[in-house]
Amino acid sequence: MIRIALLCLLTFSFMSCEDLQDNSSVVQGNANNEFFKGGAVATRSADGSVTISANTDRENLTLKLTNVAAGTYGFGPGNANIAEFTDLSGETFTTGTEAGDGAAIISEYDTTNNTISGSFIFNAHTFALQDTINFQRGVIFEVPVIEGDDAGIGPTLGQGITATIDGITFEAVTAEGVNVSGFIIITGIEEARMIVLRFANNLPPGEYDLAAGDFTATYSLDGTATAGTSGTMRIVTNNTGTGEITGSFSFSGDGFEVLDGSFVIIY
């Protein structure tokens, strides 16, 4: 199946650029024949790996690749490269299951403008293998690459999200933020658990109330998302120049409680 996916990818890598709807930095494609387009950012780690994150108001696409250099990066079981997609219902699909496959082609890493471009295709599944999503005609177009201070440029903070969920420690393996459509969306993923915070990008440092509509918070377990109904968030710093934000949060909903949350994020 991976050979078929790679063949399709090589074909679409030429076709997709012709279908690009505008020339802004973007990741787009078709998820189960539904068009997806999100503002995107790529975060490069000290080990050279890169995480490309694209978000809409209610969907999230993440491509985790072992390197930022031009080349082909296969998805599938036992592979360090992973594609993940969270749909409108909050259900998460990943190529990290035994049935996942696909690949991404990085066609260019522009070191002058510090952007990355390419194409991708994948089949991803829920953790229980009950549902599948097929992503076709994926395009990565001039997505900015954010580097840590070890590279001598860019933001100075290391990203992270921690909390206690129903008394059990949560420490995100993947912690990401994006500024899109007037909102900052912060996502933390630890295996089958995920926290998502969403709030207006013009909020200054201060205390904010979930019940008052100042922000939204969602907790997902095994791909099932539940919205928080009460809680608070405190923005400590928000440097719009470097895209660095820090803060804390707590929220609860039907059957769960998230306490002592904190985040350090580059968006």
pLDDT tens-place string over residues 191-248: 899 999 999 988 888 899 999 999 999 999 998 999 999 999 998 888 776 678 888 9
Tell me: pLDDT of 107 over 50.
yes
Domain end, chosen from 107, 127, 151, is at: 151
Nearest Cα residue to 16 out of 41, 35, 43:
35
Q: Could you give the CA distance from residue 166 to residue 256 in angstroms, rounded to a whole number?
A: 6
Answer yes or no: do 164 and 143 share one domain: no
pLDDT of residue 170: 93
Answer yes or no: do 90 and 175 share one domain: no
CB atoms within 10 A of CB 18: 7
Structure tokens at 204: 């200054």
Answer yes or no: do 42 and 140 share one domain: yes
Are 75 and 84 in contact, with CB atoms under 8 Å apart? no
Are 250 and 231 in contact, with CB atoms under 8 Å apart? yes
Answer yes or no: do 134 and 173 share one domain: no
Q: Could you give the CA distance from residue 48 to residue 177 in angstroms, rounded to a whole number?
A: 19
Q: Could you give the CA distance from residue 100 to residue 115 in angstroms, rounded to a whole number?
A: 28
Answer yes or no: do 143 and 177 share one domain: no
pLDDT of residue 21: 47
Answer yes or no: do 136 and 78 share one domain: yes
Answer yes or no: do 11 and 91 share one domain: yes
CB burial of 127-152 (b: ≥16 within 10 Å; e: otherwise) equals beeeeebebbbbbbbebbbbbbeeee
pLDDT tens-place string over residues 51-96: 998 887 678 899 999 999 999 999 987 788 999 998 888 788 889 8
Q: How confident is the model at residue 40 (pLDDT cuts 50, 70, 90)?
A: confident
Domain count, the chain: 2
Query: What does the mean pLDDT of the chain come to?
Result: 83
Answer yes or no: do 182 and 79 share one domain: no
Answer yes or no: do 43 and 128 share one domain: yes
Please give the residue range of the domain that contains residue 23. Answer: 2-151
Q: Could you give the CA distance from residue 146 to residue 89 in angstroms, rounded to a whole number?
A: 29
Identity of residue 130: Q
Tell me: pLDDT of 113 over 70.
yes
Tell me: pLDDT of 12 over 60.
no
pLDDT of residue 7: 44
pLDDT of residue 54: 85
CA 140 from chain center: how many Å? 14
Residues in the chain: 267
Answer yes or no: do 122 and 10 share one domain: yes
Q: Could you give the CA distance from residue 110 to residue 117 in angstroms, rounded to a whole number?
A: 8
> Is pTM beyond 0.85 here?
no
pLDDT of residue 19: 52
pLDDT of residue 264: 86
pLDDT of residue 150: 37
Identity of residue 157: L
Domain end, chosen from 90, 125, 151, is at: 151
Domain end, chosen from 127, 151, 175, is at: 151
Answer yes or no: do 121 and 96 share one domain: yes
pLDDT of residue 266: 84
Answer yes or no: do 45 and 64 share one domain: yes
pLDDT tens-place string over residues 151-186: 333 344 457 899 999 999 999 988 888 888 889 999
